[in-house]
Amino acid sequence: MTMMEVLERTGADILNKEAREVFEKAGCWVDGNRVRIPSALSEWAVRTAPSRVTVCDRNGKRALRVETTNAFYGPGQGNTYVIDPMTGERRKPIKADVANAGVVCDGLKNVDFAMSNGLPTDVNPNVAEVHAFEALVTNTKKPIIQSIQGIEQAQAILDIATSISGSLKEFQKNPFVVLLIETEGTLVHSDETLAKVIFAAQNGVPYIYSTKLIAGETSPATPAGAIVVALADILVGVLLGQLVRQGTPVIGGGFFTIKDNENDILPYGAPEVSLMGTGMANALRFLGIPSFGFAGATDSKDSDAQMGLEAAFSILHAGMSGTSLIHGCGQLEYGLSASLALLVMGDEVMGMTRRIIKGVEVNEERMARGVINEVQPGGHYLGEEHTLKYFRSEFWWPSVMNRSRISDWEANGAKTLGQKVKEKTQTLLTTHQPEKLSKDVLSKIKLIIDRVDAR
């Protein structure tokens, strides 16, 4: 396969000394920082890495079977600004915003996992990810994908997770946190990035090895070439994890975009984002590696038609492509701003997408030949037991989209989708009560937070 040939022929720059030693011991060719990986070793890593990563909720209940046949949705992360859900103000995120993201994720039916919608600016910036994780884990029981900036932060997050699970062994058996390890790609893997992989593998923590590429700038301009580079980068992270601890749960993926030179931005709503993401997901499915993709974001600055179009199109595309974990929903302005309202709207589209993916189930009872004969031509099916049985399960029903008659719509205030989404977001924040952690666990978490703040 082409990406394996790239690693064998061209290789990658490995800037972590321990990682180079692991690769060399396994039979890779090391010349300074450049490491060339035999294709046989890449093939071994693909066979050894689990084809399914099971992620639990905070209570240890199995929630996500992350494999090549399932698709799960969640929000984006790491935004510079947030749109205040009550006032509409665009401002820097604080810890309370991350807590709000946890509450909304917890209350939405089709959102499967939570992520931080921005790094809080009202805490110590050196440990902002730890504070973000605390805000999420205390406000949702859903699985969490958590980015990390260093080994100390990773250890603190793992300490919090094990204080909830009871021990590292129990957490490994029923993990509810997946570490997000990001590399900027183009066959260069930093010292810190690879140290995170080694940490995750040594501790048996599921991790995502994710690359970010700009077609024509940090990767070839062609979608095929960009996908090859991305897969080569991902295989480096997969191989290292398996060499450190065979069977380490790993998910591969990333984010592709292009450079809009006219506006000097990296668009999130461009069709190429979905196109290349689909190509990567398909290739990873062929390899048997669960995939991490992107959908539900927009380049729009407000709740308008462009926002709905770009977000809905990408959510549908990613789901139908079979991407395993799909993040990114709720990001405006090419990823600069987080919007809980867009996440709520995205939840509706996720439900629609799941109904489309479900397709038409065919069996003897569903084909209803006996019912058709019983009703006869010109009859109606409203009173049939068959209709009563399948009326709810076979149809999708909206929660914020409007299907009422115009007179009823006007009588209820003639509210637009944007208004209804805003109201639902605010209602979730004021009324939804996530399941709380025990006082004992909260005390342990506070001690960990106090310790990292003191450093």
Q: In angstroms, rounded to a whole number, what is the distance separating the alpha carbons of residues 58 and 179?
A: 15
pLDDT digits (tens, 9 = 90+) for 390-433: 888 888 999 999 999 999 999 999 999 999 999 999 999 999 99
pLDDT digits (tens, 9 = 90+) for 371-396: 889 889 988 888 888 988 888 888 89
- pLDDT score of 166 more than 80: yes
Q: In angstroms, rounded to a whole number, what is the distance separating the alpha carbons of residues 308 and 310?
A: 6
SS3 336: coil
Per-residue b or e along 17-55, where b marks 16 or more CB atoms closer than 10 Å to that residue's CB? eebbebbeebebeeeeeebbbeeebbebbbeebbeebbb
Of 213, 217, 242, 241, the residue nearest 228 (C-alpha): 213
Per-residue pLDDT at 1: 67
- pLDDT score of 185 more than 80: no
Q: In angstroms, rounded to a whole number, what is the distance separating the alpha carbons of residues 31 and 14?
A: 10
Measured over the CA atoms of residue 229, residue 234, residue 237 and residue 240, the dihedral's sign is negative
Rounded to the nearest angstrom, the gap between the alpha carbon of residue 411 and the centroid of all alpha carbons in its chain is: 39
Half-sphere exposure of 433 (CA within 13 A, CB side): 1
pLDDT digits (tens, 9 = 90+) for 121-158: 999 999 999 999 999 999 999 999 999 989 999 999 99
Extract the tokens encoding 120.
Answer: 């809080």
SS3 281: helix
Q: In angstroms, rounded to a whole number, what is the distance separating the alpha carbons of residues 209 and 139?
A: 26
Across 352-367, average pLDDT: 91
Extract the tokens encoding 178.
Answer: 């997946």
pLDDT digits (tens, 9 = 90+) for 223-277: 999 999 999 999 999 999 999 999 999 999 999 999 888 888 889 999 999 999 9
- pLDDT score of 42 more than 70: yes
Q: In angstroms, rounded to a whole number, what is the distance separating the alpha carbons of residues 313 and 269?
A: 9
Extract the tokens encoding 231.
Answer: 């897969």
Q: What percent of the chain has pLDDT above 70?
A: 100
Domains belonging to the chain, first-starting first, are 2-45 (no CATH), 51-358 (3.20.20.480), 366-397 (no CATH)
Per-residue pLDDT at 261: 84
The partner residues of 178 in beta bridges, in order of sequence, read: 145
pLDDT digits (tens, 9 = 90+) for 287-315: 999 999 999 999 998 888 899 999 999 99
Strands of the sheet with 331-332, listed across from one edge? 90-91, 81-83, 337-338, 331-332
Across 85-105, average pLDDT: 96
Of 146, 62, 55, 66, the residue nearest 102 (C-alpha): 146
341: burial class by Cβ within 10 Å (0-12, 13-18, 19+)?
buried
Half-sphere exposure of 297 (CA within 13 A, CB side): 32
